Amino acid sequence: MKFMTASRYTLIGKVIAFIVLACAAIPGMLSALTFRTITVTETNPLSATLSTLTPGAASITANGSSTQVLTVTERGPQGIRQSSGGAAVTITKQSGTGSIRAVTDNHNGTYTATVTAPTATGSGSFVATLNGAEVKSGTGTQTQATVTYVAGAATQIAVNGGDAQSAKVGTAVTTAPSVIVKDANNNPVSGVSVTFANGTGGSVSGTLTATTGINGIALFEGTWTLNTVDSNTLTATSGTLGGSPVTFTASGTVAIGDSYGGGIVAYILQSGDLGYVAGETHGLIAATADQSTATIPWALDQNYFSSVPGGTSAAIGTGSANTDNIIDQNGSGQDYAAGLARAYNGGGYSDWYLPSKDELNQLYINRSAVGVFSGHDYWSSTEKIFDLAWNQSFFYGNNYPEHKQNTCSVRAVRAF
């Protein structure tokens, strides 16, 4: 006789019952039987190969406190889940970062351990054993559970590159400015939008918005042109992040002979010059052409023999003040040298003036770079005595006092 049963215990019980009934059918046989206690032990071993470690992959925030629970589920040789507990289970870190706590037996066939994230992004690989054998989740190799630690929400933005560079005025910087966005634990954050904009002094064009990459960096892909000597600024803004807006600075540079500020750079201030500031660039800009060619007097008729009230000076940096004093004496007309120079508005500027004696000499020294000078004498704004003012020959180079009623050329300058 064949018994169909789902359990070996059921099968054994039916066999014993059959034997007892058969003996009972034979007179005297049942009383002759000696009954003993039979202990039946289940011998269904757990299978580490079929037992599982889950999840196989997970992501948590790299903040030092986020956690991920890893679970070993025990299974028998046929892959049937068991629920007894009591096995010797380990879950340990094989490589990478993060920490893992001790295994907890849940007494239902599952065993758990908790992974805690570090504060830096990265990952950790974890493996398990059951009764000393590798847990393989039904595969041919030991199961690896990978926990990835990702950046948290963006909290801060800062300069990454392209700050404190220089370029010639009128040209673009060569290194693209970039920012880096991070979370509270200084991990780079991707996918954050950053808007670049012109600050002061320069101009921008092209693409002005960028998005941070996997390294947290957003690169300015437009063009930043420097239009001002020394300080030019560019800003990068991203919402309410700490450090936003970020400001980049760049120094615009000029040299004698460069076009700038409505004219041509004629001189760069040196240490000892009035108006010189260490670490800054200042100097003189000459008009691109003469305002008069040997046709204008130094003063009006009534002031030919009168000293300028307030006086005049010869040094570099004094020409504008000289011009103010001469105009105070002669009025706002353009029929004398200082008035004509002040009336010039090249480049849209209204601060042109007649150069002082030493400023005029620098125009002569750098005449080849500045260009387009005649060989005539040019007026300075420096008075010699009551009826004489200094001029300079751009043919011979010498300067000498000239009567104020005589006529010379005028080349206006302005300071920067």
> What is the C-alpha separation between 288 and 238, in angstroms, rounded?
44
User: Which pLDDT band holds residue 4 (cuts at 50, 70, 90)?
Assistant: very low
**CA-closest candidate to residue 113, choices 93, 132, 97:** 93
Average pLDDT score, the chain: 92
**CA-closest candidate to residue 159, choices 257, 275, 250:** 250
Phi, psi of 31, deg, nearest 5: -70, -20
**pLDDT score at 3:** 31
Q: Under a CB-based contact definition with an 8 Å cutoff, are residues 336 and 328 in contact?
A: no
pLDDT at 7 over 70: no
Domain boundaries, the chain: 1-43, 47-150, 156-253, 263-415
> What is the C-alpha separation between 183 and 151, in angstroms, rounded?
6
Strands 246-253 and 165-168: parallel
Coil/strand/helix, residue 96: strand
User: Which pLDDT band holds residue 190 (cuts at 50, 70, 90)?
Assistant: very high
Asked if 47-150 and 156-253 have one fold, the answer is yes
> What is the C-alpha separation between 307 and 388, in angstroms, rounded?
9
- Tell me the per-residue pLDDT of 243-267, one tens digit each, with 9 for 90 and over: 999 999 999 999 999 999 999 999 9
Phi, psi of 120, deg, nearest 5: -105, 145
Question: CA-CA distances (angstroms) from residue 90 to 75, 126, 139, 148, 212?
Answer: 15, 10, 19, 21, 41
**pLDDT score at 84:** 86
- Please report, rounded to a whole number, the percentage of residues in the chain having pLDDT higher than 90: 88
- Tell me the per-residue pLDDT of 32-74, one tens digit each, with 9 for 90 and over: 545 455 444 444 589 999 999 999 999 999 999 999 999 999 9
> What is the C-alpha separation between 73 and 111, in angstroms, rounded?
7
DSSP string computed for 383-407: EEETTEEEEEETTT--EEEEETTSE
> What is the C-alpha separation between 124 and 127, in angstroms, rounded?
10
**What top-level class would CATH report for the domain 47-150?**
mainly beta
- Tell me the per-residue pLDDT of 82-106, one tens digit each, with 9 for 90 and over: 998 999 999 999 999 999 999 999 9
Phi, psi of 399, deg, nearest 5: -115, 150
Q: Under a CB-based contact definition with an 8 Å cutoff, are residues 386 and 270 in contact?
A: no
Token pair belonging to 367: 């005449």
> What is the C-alpha separation between 135 and 128, in angstroms, rounded?
6
**CA-closest candidate to residue 61, choices 128, 115, 127, 125:** 115
Mean pLDDT of 149-172: 99
Q: Under a CB-based contact definition with an 8 Å cutoff, are residues 409 and 292 in contact?
A: yes
Q: Under a CB-based contact definition with an 8 Å cutoff, are residues 221 and 188 in contact?
A: no
Count of positions (residues) in the chain: 416
Query: Can you name the residues that pair with 231 across neighbouring β-strands?
Result: 251
**pLDDT score at 45:** 85
Query: Is domain 156-253 annotated with CATH 3.40.50.970?
Result: no
**pLDDT score at 50:** 98
> What is the C-alpha separation between 175 and 212, in angstroms, rounded?
18
Q: Based on C-alpha coordinates, what's the Rg of the chain?
A: 47
Amino acid at 350: S
| Positive or negative torsion for Cα 329, 334, 336, 340 | positive
